[in-house]
Amino acid sequence: MAYITQYCRIQNRMLLRQGSVIYSNLAGDLDTFLDTALTALSIYYPKFYKMDRLSKLGFLAAEVLLRDLELMNRYSPQQVAVVLSNAHSSLDTDIRYFETTKTIASPALFVYTLANIVTGEICIRHGIKGENAFFISEEFDPQGMCEYVDLVLAAKKTKACVAGWVDVMGDQHDVFLYLVEKQGNKFSLDHSPAQLQKLYDLKYGTVDGRSQKTDH
């Protein structure tokens, strides 16, 4: 049995953890939201500003998901896996890179023309060295995600997995990340397709007064 011990959501320029809005910026575009969210969360990570939108979304979601959990103090780097998926692969960045080739191609964008780069950014940031995978599907597939993550956790060496959906195309963005562990706690949920669908469908939440929230 595996358990969902934490989850987060990014949609409509709102960042939610456990169903509670911890940051929002409804003014401006997605790029503005991403950069201001990093500042609001008091994260110092200069490389963030060089990332593409897909990596920024995954990075922010993982930061919120794993904050205060001391995950890497409880597990070795090889015991934590990352399994992600989306619908548009790296198309958002591919299009932006193609536009630069009309003048001078941008090497900074080219390095992000693979969808699984976001996985690498998360692993580098958190020191994760376990199994990782990235899948493409037309929409979030809770059945497929649950089955694959359970398969990963069936390996004796894997104790936890960061999993979910990170998708972006233009200003349209949709992120759902969750942490699943072999050992649960009193607040954990069963890792099942039905439970994943329920959490994914959660659109809005209450304001978490312990975290910064900015509305415009």
78 is a domain residue: yes
Q: In this predicted model, what pLDDT tens digit does every residue of 167-184 receive, in sequence order?
A: 999 999 999 999 999 998
210 is a domain residue: no
How much is the pLDDT for 106?
A: 75
Sign of CA dihedral 136, 124, 66, 18: negative
**Closest C-alpha among 154, 25, 4, 169 to residue 88:** 169
215 is a domain residue: no
213 is a domain residue: no
How much is the pLDDT for 194?
A: 97
Q: How would residue 109 be classed by pLDDT, with cut points 50, 70 and 90? A: confident
| In the block, residue with structure tokens 């990570």 | 45
Q: In this predicted model, what pLDDT tens digit does every residue of 2-16 receive, in sequence order?
A: 999 999 999 999 999
Give the whole-angstrom CA distance, residue 165 versus residue 155.
Answer: 22
Q: Which amino acid is at 145?
A: M
Q: Which two tokens stand for residue 90?
A: 């790296």
> pTM of the predicted model, to two decimals?
0.90
188 is a domain residue: yes
Give the whole-angstrom CA distance, residue 115 versus residue 85.
Answer: 9
Number of domains in the chain: 1
Tell me the average pLDDT of the chain.
90
113 is a domain residue: yes
Q: Which two tokens stand for residue 112?
A: 């992000």
The radius of gyration computed from the CA coordinates of the chain, to the nearest angstrom, equals 17
Q: What's the helix, strand, coil split of the chain in %, to 5? A: 40, 25, 40
Q: In this predicted model, what pLDDT tens digit does every residue of 50-91 receive, in sequence order?
A: 999 999 999 999 999 999 999 999 999 999 999 999 999 999
205 is a domain residue: no
**Closest C-alpha among 78, 89, 91, 168 to residue 132:** 78
Q: Which helix (H) or strand (E) holds 176?
A: strand 172-181
CB 202 within 8 A of CB 184: no
212 is a domain residue: no
How much is the pLDDT for 204?
A: 61
Give me the CATH number covering residue 18: 3.40.47.10
Structural domain containing residue 155 = 3-200
DSSP track, 58-82: HHHHHHHHHTTS-HHHHS-GGGEEE
